[in-house]
Amino acid sequence: MKNLRKLSRNNLKEIQGGTFTGGCNSHLVTVDEAPGEGMPYDCGCRTLLWCEKLSACVQSGQYAKSCKSL
């Protein structure tokens, strides 16, 4: 219990949906940002993977075979 610290007002404002802003959140990619078919895309975070069928970066735990295009 000694290691707990109070969060400042700014820390509380940074929290969005259970993660801090700047964290790795799943997100949709706009048409302008989307890569060409079959091309790789850098989602900007190790835990995010490009899902071509959804045109989105998804968490690695949510990535399924349905994301791969055949």
Q: For 3-16, how does the pLDDT look when each residue is reduced to its tens digit (9 = 90+)?
A: 556 666 666 555 55
Pairing of strands 56-59, 48-51: antiparallel
Tens-digit pLDDT profile for residues 32-48: 888 888 788 888 888 88
pTM summary value: 0.53
Surface-to-core class of residue 57, CB atoms within 10 Å of its CB (0-12 exposed, 13-18 middle, 19+ buried): buried
